[in-house]
Amino acid sequence: MAFVESFDDFFSNSEFAVTAVYAGNNVQVIFDKAYIENYGLAGVNTFITVPAASVPGIANGQSIVVESLNYVVRNVLPDGTGILQVELEKQ
């Protein structure tokens, strides 16, 4: 019998989750705008963490709305467990 983990505790029932709109559907994601500094330049890396099953077909160049702001997908990073970290760029 294979072990199947439910991601509901991390996304649907989490105090950290926010609602995003992808392909016309509401999706629960964890939104992260991390401060970074590269080569003396400060900036923000914007990511969402989301179950892959919640965003089928997500790819670079697609649009997603998080916290009423429009973003473009810049990079999709699967972690091998069914979770994606998606790098976003503000439009």
Where do the domains of the chain lie?
17-90
Query: pLDDT higher for 6 or 76?
Result: 76
Q: Class assignment of domain 17-90? A: mainly beta
Task: Read off the pLDDT of residues 11-63 as tens digits, 9 standing for 90 and up.
Answer: 876 788 999 999 999 999 999 987 777 788 777 789 999 999 999 999 999 99
In 3D, which of 23, 80, 78, 7 has the Cα closest to residue 55? 23
